[in-house]
Structures are given as C-alpha cells and as structure tokens.
Chain A
Amino acid sequence: MHAGETALESHWGGGALPFGASWQKTMMWIFIVTDALLFSGLLSGYAFLRHSIPSPWPRQSEVFSIPFIALMTFILITSSMTMGTAVTASRLGDRKKALRNLIFTIIGGLAFLGCQAYEWTALIHEGARLHTNPWGPPQFGQAFFVLTGFHGSHVFSGLVILIVTAIRTAMGRTPAQGVELAGLYWHFVDLVWVFIFTLFYLL
C-alpha cells in the first residue's frame, strides 16, 4: 500500500516534472490537446450536419479533384518527415541539417497553403459560398470552408512559428527544445489533416 502510494506520488504528485517533460513541453502538449478538442468539436458539428439533413450529401469525387487533395496530403506528410529530421538534427547539435530541414518544412507548408488557396479559388469560382453551393445542401459549403479554413489558419500560424524558429536557428539562438516545440505544433497540423482528409474528402 505504501509502495503504491509512493508510485502514485512520483507520477501525480505535482513534482517538478510530473510528465517527465519540461514545463514548456508539458504546456505545449496541453495546448495541443485543447486545440485538438476544437477540431473534435468542428468535426462533430460536421457529423451532425451530415446526419441531420434529408438531402443527399454531394459526392466528393464530383466536387473535388481527389488526386489534387492526395497531393496536398503528400506535401504535408513529407513536411512532417523533414520537421522530424530537423528536431533530431537539432538535438544532435547538427545546426546546418536542422536549418536545412526547417527550410524544407517551410517550403512544404507554403506549397500546401498555395494548393489550398487554389482549391478555394476554384470552388468559389464554381459558386461555392458559406451558405450556398451548386452541389446541393448549403451545409456542404459551410463544412468545407469552416473545416479547411480553420486548418489552413493553423498551417499559416505554424509557418510563422517555423520561420521564426528557422531564423533563430540560423543565428544559433534556438535551443533544441525550441525546434522540438515548433515540431510538435507542425505535426499536430499534419495530424488534424489526416482526420479532415478521411472524414471530409473520402467518407
């Protein structure tokens, strides 16, 4: 009993490192959980829309170019791989490799945002708006713009963080943990896309 209490104390006692991570990393994780709940709410709202409207939901393959969406997914997955490489390189003290991979990640993020801007423009030209669209239920336009818009804004803020991190890395002023925290946020953006890609574009 006493040993069990000691074990609990060591894990949950609120010591300096209850999660075995620095306070910065712990706070980043808590932020990521809360941000994930925001997207969880948005996706649940989207599920509500799809379940509650009598008219059929448009077939995604008739509205979107799925190969183009797959290309966007490829770009984001690849940028996550370069980000992971940058995090490890930074930890190993290889500043050049960390910076090079941060730049690759930024290019990937810019390419993704460019693709998203192109997709939005194409759909707006075809008549898609927040409250109307040519393919049927108006909720389709709402779900599309809100989900991809929120995600795109996260990609944009992630890019700002990455650019600042890259500049500071080039100046030798970012500790390895700074790159790791930026990486956690970037991977989170990729993670959210996995859900949007499956639940909105494929299902």
Chain B
Amino acid sequence: MDGTHAPATTRSPYRVYWITWVILLVVTVTMLLAESLHMPRWFLIAFLLAFMMVKATMIGGNFMHLRYEKRNLAVMVAAGILVTSLILFFFIRPEARYVLEHSSH
C-alpha cells in the first residue's frame, strides 16, 4: 500500500450498497406515491416502467457488480434478457388482440 493514497482508501467499501439501498427505497416510495396521484394512465405506465428500469439497473450494476465486470459480460446479460423479452412481448401482443377480438364476438 502506498501511504500517499491513504485518504482514498478511507472510503468504506460498503458505501455503494448503502447508497444503492437508499436510492432503491426512494424510487420504490416514489412509485407508490405516483399510484395515488391522479395522472393520465399512459403517463403513469411510462413513469412506472422507467423507474422499474432504474431499479433494475441499480441492482444489476451495483449489487450484482455488472458495472465492474468486463463489458462483453454486461452486454451479454443485459442485451440478452432485454432483447428476448421485448421480442416475446411484441410477438404475443398481436395474438392477444386477435384472441380479444374473437372472444368478444
């Protein structure tokens, strides 16, 4: 250890977990409060989805340490899950509409 860098090492290695925990709690409470506000439905959905992604990024990046991993590992995990989920969702959406239209006749 180089003694000249002592101030940098005094920062607790656990600090990132506490900060992430506080942010996650604040975001969760904000999401719950947003529910009680009378905002347009489309705006509420966009708001909740955006905050959900913020929470997922905080957990993946800070708790699961993805932001410290090699970029190709992070890309494999994040892109793999996101792209497949979006494909799944957008492929079944027209099917759901088809079922809805035929069940209401």
Q: Which B residues are within 8 Å of any A CB, using their own CB?
A: 13-14, 16-18, 20-21, 24-25, 28-29, 31-32, 35, 45, 48-49, 51-52, 55-56, 59-60, 62-64, 69-70, 72-73, 76-77, 80-81, 84-85, 88-89, 92-93, 95-97, 99-100, 103-104
Contacts and interface: CB of A to CB of B under 8 A. Distances in A.
B77 A88 contact: no
Contacts of A19: 69-70, 72-73, 76
B31 A198 contact: yes
Interface in A159-203: 183-184, 187-188, 190-191, 194-195, 197-199, 202-203
Nearest to B73: A19
A interface, by DSSP: helix, strand, loop or mixed? Answer: helix
Contact of A85 (B14, B56, B70, B103): B14
Given A187-B64, A202-B32, 13 more contacts: A19-B70, A19-B73, A41-B88, A47-B96, A48-B96, A51-B93, A54-B103, A61-B35, A70-B29, A80-B21, A84-B63, A187-B63, A195-B52
A132 interface: no
A41 B95 CA distance: 15
B95 A48 contact: yes
A132 B101 CA distance: 23
Contacts of B25: 74, 77
A21 interface: yes
A47 B89 contact: yes
Contacts of A74: 25, 28
A81 B69 contact: no
Given A32-B77, A194-B55, A198-B49, A44 B60 contact: no
A133 interface: no
5 contacts: A40-B84, A51-B97, A51-B100, A199-B52, A202-B35
B48 A202 contact: yes
